[in-house]
Amino acid sequence: MSDENGHANGDRLRQEWERWESTTLKKALGRGGERQAEFRTTSTPAERLATPLSAGAVDFDRDIGHPGEYPYTRGVQPTMYRGRLWTMRQYAGFGTAKESNERFKFLLGEGQTGLSVAFDLPTQIGMDSDDPDAQAEIGQVGVAIDSLADMEEMFDGIPLDRVSTSMTINAPAPVLVAMYVAVAEKQGVPSGDVMGTAQNDVLKEYVARGTYIYPPRESLRLAADLITWCARNAPKVNSISVSGYHIRDAGATAAQEIGFAFANAIAYLEACQRAGVDIDDVAPRISWIYNTHNNFFEEVAKYRALRRMWARLLRVRFGAQNPNSWKLRTHVQTGGVTLTAQQPENNIVRTTLQALASVLGGVQSLALSCYDEALAIPTTDAQRIALRTQQIIAHESGVTDTADPFGGSYYVEHLTDQIEQRAQEYIDRVEDMGGAVAAIESGYVQAEIQEAAVEQQQQVERGERIVVGVNRFRSEEEPEPVIFRVNTELARTQVERVRRLRAARDGAASAASLRRLGEAARGEDNLMPAILDAVKAYATLGEICGELRGAWGEYRPPTVV
């Protein structure tokens, strides 16, 4: 179509829009108006009606293209789910390694295709189970892992060359990856064949979750050490899974989720470059975890936008030459914060819609938050329902039969463009402040997320945002739900286990490995070899993290007003 014809067509569309507004729409609004004054996604106003004018600035070749080709808006694989379904990877883990091993085998037996490990809070902040401050939390929100012996038991009978494992661990991620690699080697699997993912996105801990240990700059060094070590020694391990998930669950909008997660990713890439690693050696193994909430079309558009943004960022700014560096591959967990303790069965519907939006957005791996997670660790029945929901979408819904079925939708293309623009604005602001670490140290990111969270909660309290069963459609009487409780005896068992380990191991070898780690932490060499040596000497997680605490200190957050 010539520019002249294009302009003429645009003029005709505008004239038709104005005619519809001044006649048909005006009459309808005069009769009864609309349900509310404004309709919005979390990031942008929702158009009353999408037309070709809505997506007028979108160029098919430049912005949309074909699946499996730059800029990957329509998906990273040419055939998408016609070739291979997403990995179904329910998040699980509780109590001790033994109980978690049993839950993992249950899920694999039910048809799950990968594992995702939840760790308890002491493990997440580098504390051993016999630490006095750990007692109330041992095994409560995940599995307690104190040493290589625990990791060996957790993966007993699970072949690590055939089952990939995602580990939601951040500040002590290098230690847990070292344990995982050591277990694989004991199974006869060399580090080069180990498959898995470590979250290792410690920067978002300072703004979203709080399970940090060390100051941000030292944490960034440690994360980069793991990334660069894996690039050279464990190339099938995704050594970082940059997280928008926790940023979103802390209250961020969809645009903030992308913007702040991308700003963190830029910091990791630059740290690897400073360590002398080529961008194409690390970028292909960067994975992601994002969070799908309830606004269906916004979430579909979000996944399309973030793929396009990443492709352009890596190709243009970082000069990556390998097309695999341009491809953003993401795991998704449906929105934990969207679950309600009231009428918890409604959460099955919420997570089904969120899962459907994720699949229509083209994700590579998916876990559904279980309907009872607002109350406790999921029961096996709740885990089974979540997995069956994925299987029904995959095999019965028909949405996997064609790649990017919303491609070309006036509304979805418009939303994709709008979310990208707003996310880029956040990236630019963080860059102007000196990057992610500087923005975190100043409290800027924390303040932005807090403001968005407060606004969303006030919308619920004012009744502007309806949450079924909470501020509308409440029931006077609700049946008591079945709640899973972790056996408190498991905590005592775990404490005894770590104490027996210390008594039985080669104490001199363990102490020597810890001294070498402390010396390395005060220098500039990559810390992974020293961490591996300490893990294999059965030094505990708390002892290893304690050496790093001694070298670097602990982080104290700024006051955000």
Mean pLDDT for all residues in the chain = 94
Could you check whether the bond before residue 71 is cis, i.e. omega within 30 degrees of 0? yes
**pLDDT computed for residue 58 by the predictor:** 85
Confidence class of residue 290 from pLDDT cuts 50, 70 and 90? very high
Percent of the chain with pLDDT over 90: 89
Domains of the chain: 164-447 (3.20.20.240)
Q: Taking the CA of residue 527 as centre, how many other CA atoms within 13 Å lie in the half-sphere pointing to its CB?
A: 31
Chain CA centroid to CA 8, Å:
45
Distance CA 176, CA 198 (A): 8
One-letter amino acid identity for 59? D
Least confident of 268-282, 416-430, 522-536: 268-282
Residue 5 has pLDDT above 70, yes or no: no
* Helix, strand, or coil (residue 323): helix
Q: What is the pLDDT of residues 336-372, one digit of tens each?
A: 999 999 999 999 999 999 999 999 999 999 999 999 9
Residue 1 has pLDDT above 50, yes or no: no
List all residues 6 or more positions away from 25 whose beta carbon is below 8 Å from its beta carbon.
Answer: 48
**pLDDT computed for residue 561 by the predictor:** 55
Confidence class of residue 96 from pLDDT cuts 50, 70 and 90? very high
**pLDDT computed for residue 481 by the predictor:** 76
Distance CA 246, CA 252 (A): 9
Residue 476 has pLDDT above 90, yes or no: no
What is the bridge-based pairing of β-strands 237-238 and 196-198?
A: parallel
Confidence class of residue 211 from pLDDT cuts 50, 70 and 90? very high
**pLDDT computed for residue 558 by the predictor:** 72
**pLDDT computed for residue 4 by the predictor:** 55
Percent of the chain with pLDDT over 70: 98
The pair of structure tokens assigned to 320 is 């990556």
* Helix, strand, or coil (residue 487): coil
Residue keyed to tokens 């069956």:
388
Distance CA 122, CA 130 (A): 10
**Average pLDDT score over residue span 115-131:** 97
Confidence class of residue 2 from pLDDT cuts 50, 70 and 90? very low
Distance CA 287, CA 196 (A): 11
**pLDDT computed for residue 3 by the predictor:** 55
**Contact criterion met (CB below 8 Å) for 528 and 225:** yes
Q: What is the pLDDT of residues 33-63, one digit of tens each?
A: 899 888 999 999 998 999 988 877 788 999 9
**Average pLDDT score over residue span 419-437:** 97
pTM: 0.92
The pair of structure tokens assigned to 489 is 């005896």
